[in-house]
Chains A and B, each alone.
Chain A
Amino acid sequence: MSANSVRNGRSLPALSLGRKMRRLAFYCAITAILFVFLFPIYWTFTTSTKPESQAFSIPPVWLFRPTFDNYLAIFQQQSFGTYVLNSVTVTTTSTVLALLIGTPAAYGLSRFRFRGRSQIAFFILSSRITPPVLLMLPFFLLYQNLGLLGTTTWGLTVAYLTFNISLVVTLMANFFDDVPRELDEAALVDGASRWTTFVRVVLPLSRSGLATAAIFCVVFSWNEFLYAFILTGSETRTLPVLLTTFVRSTGTDWGKLTAAASFVMLPMLVLSFFVQRNLARGLTYGAVK
């Protein structure tokens, strides 16, 4: 076996060359994988700070003097503030509503065994499956008739609920299943009502679940395109639609496009940095049912 050296009271076996090589290969593989998944993001950020002349040279320019002209250009665009406001409004409202409506439903599905339970569970799941193209036609016609298209973002907020409610219910029901029933029972035995048990006992323990559900709703609503494109007018558009306006028949303004794309990306990346532990866990909750 290899020679042992002692350091701080613990022994460190010297690694054989074979193991060192395999470890190196492993870290090379990891780096390659991270490169593949992170390069396009890095490219978007750096291109947005490149002067127009250097943005598309082949071979690509790796070292350059960054400029924020592209960002200034899009911020100064008249409607930019409107786009941002609409995105923020729709995202927050839809997420909050979905949480308010979906969390009690998840609790109900998790704690009670009642007639019609599996039908209701399937019904809630089905709105997750429904392709938006099915609903966009009636939504469009309805909103057009009600004059909602260009005047308010409520139409979009409500349309997002079809997905967000289902998301919240599925995730939170799984989460509540992991909260021990004994806690509920202890509270009930002490005379608390179901609602009080839910609000005072179970909910405080579910903060990370709620954060996860919220993050998923936020990411979905912030990034959604189809409904945002169809169900809005020029005053009610959201950021993803802005991105497509840079692609014109006269050519694409890649500098402004990457700047706008970076701007749209940034909040999501920052937000998820704070909840990354919840993200991965939440994905499994969304899947396991």
Chain B
Amino acid sequence: MQRLTAQRAQPLFFVSPAVLALLLVGVYPTLSALLISFTRSDLLTPANNGFVGLDNYAAVVADPRFWGSLVVQGGYTFGGAGLQMILGLAIALLLHRSFRGKSLVRALILAPMLLAPVSVGLVWRLFFNADAGMVNYFLGLVGIGPIAWLGSSSTALWAVVVADTWQWTPFVVAIALAGLESLPADPYEAAAIDGAGRLQLFRYLTLPLLAPLLVLTATLRAIDSIRTLDLVFVMTFGGPGVSTQTTNFFVYLTGFFYYHMGLASAIAVLLTIIVTIGATVLIRVTRAQTEATT
């Protein structure tokens, strides 16, 4: 057993306020949520409230709306993150050269990220308005008929994804551009001497070198996308039908619209478990990849 000398206690001294704060503000509520998930906590009919063990979890897993919400969540999160990664990388590649106004462009393009997501959602809600919206106006200029974006269950989710992509693609652009700028020049010079073309340089040099950073960025985007329901809240409120009811939003509805707190907690716990596993796996993979290539 090591003696806890003053020397060894030093790191604890620095780290403990944060750990204590997070224990209080993070762990305690998490345990509390876990506890609530084992009870029936219906604020509207408190008569039957009490400990029910795993009943909530059984009910959730048996509910097709839960699985439906996972599908919607997957579409929203991975569709969004995927689109943001592709667009973000493409724009970063475009910007990766010296040109007049580069630093201004870099600064301006970050603007969407500074806005409140509810603000973004409300503005895009109007943009997607079937009659008076900007999207249909611009589409109309090239002859594409008015589309009822938010009124149709086949397009509503994509409208939300577009709003999300508009706000967060700059995030990917900034990181990808920084990544491109930190790439070593030597491999490119050597490959150019060997006669490699632009596409080959990209496929065999740029992509593999950037891969760890891109995977990490995609992971961050996916995690943040699962955490937010602002856009769904103000653009569609889960509708039409359940076409935009992400699992995240499903928790909110169950808990604060229908007031089944126990059920809502159970869904939230399941969602958190899924996210944590996914995030841990991706971070470990990224770390292994980074260590392999450096």
Contacts and interface: CB of A to CB of B under 8 A. Distances in A.
Contacts of B256: 140, 230
B33 A280 contact: no
A3 interface: no
B286 to A, nearest CB: 9
A104 interface: yes
B85 interface: no
A86 to B, nearest CB: 14
B171 A130 contact: no
Contacts of B15: 104-105, 108-109, 120
Contacts of B11: 108, 111-112, 114, 117
A244 B10 contact: no
A171 interface: no
B137 A265 contact: no
Contacts of B8: 114
Contacts, number: 252
A254 B126 contact: yes
Interface in B213-247: 213, 216-217, 220, 223, 226-230, 233-234
Contacts of A138: 28-30, 32-33, 36
A82 interface: no
Interface in A149-166: 158-159, 161-162, 165-166
B116 A222 contact: yes
Nearest to A133: B251
A108 B11 CA distance: 5
A258 B10 CA distance: 51
B25 A159 contact: yes
Given A133-B252, A162-B25, A240 B174 contact: no
Q: Is the interface of A mostly helix, strand, loop or mixed?
A: helix
A105 B134 contact: no
A127 B124 CA distance: 30
Contact of B234 (A100, A124, A247): A247
Q: Which of A104, A165, A284 has the most CB of B within 10 A?
A: A284
Interface stretch (A13-21, A33-41, A65-73, A177-185): A33-41
A244 B124 CA distance: 14
A153 B21 CA distance: 18
Interface string B252-277: 10011000010011001101100110
Nearest to A262: B119
Contact of B111 (A43, A112, A165, A269): A269
B166 A243 contact: no
Given A58-B131, A112-B11, A40 B36 contact: no
B199 to A, nearest CB: 17
A36 B111 CA distance: 11
B110 A272 contact: yes
Contact of B123 (A101, A104, A128, A261): A261
Contacts of A27: 99
A288 interface: yes
A61 interface: no
A133 B116 contact: no
Interface in B83-116: 91, 94-95, 99, 101, 105-116
A124 B22 contact: yes
Contacts of A210: none
B74 interface: no
Given A137-B268, A223-B117, A280-B178, A44 B123 contact: yes
B71 interface: no
Contact of A243 (B32, B118, B228): B118
A169 B15 CA distance: 10
B122 A165 contact: no
Interface of B: 8, 10-15, 17-19, 21-22, 25-26, 28-30, 32-33, 36, 91, 94-95, 99, 101, 105-120, 122-124, 126-127, 131-132, 134, 137, 166, 169-171, 174-175, 177-179, 213, 216-217, 220, 223, 226-230, 233-234, 248, 251-252, 255-256, 261, 264-265, 268-269, 271-272, 275-276, 279
Given A105-B15, A120-B15, 20 more contacts: A30-B95, A37-B109, A43-B134, A56-B132, A105-B19, A120-B19, A124-B18, A126-B26, A131-B227, A133-B251, A134-B268, A137-B264, A142-B32, A165-B25, A223-B115, A240-B118, A240-B119, A261-B119, A283-B171, A284-B175
22 contacts: A33-B94, A37-B170, A40-B123, A105-B17, A112-B14, A114-B11, A114-B12, A127-B22, A131-B227, A134-B29, A138-B28, A140-B256, A141-B32, A159-B25, A162-B26, A243-B122, A247-B122, A261-B119, A276-B107, A280-B177, A287-B175, A287-B213
Interface of A: 26-27, 29-30, 33-34, 36-38, 40-41, 43-44, 56, 58-60, 100-102, 104-105, 107-109, 111-112, 114, 117, 120, 123-124, 126-142, 158-159, 161-162, 165-166, 169, 194-195, 198, 219, 222-226, 230, 239-240, 243-244, 247, 252, 254, 257-258, 261, 264-265, 268-269, 272-273, 276, 279-281, 283-284, 286-289
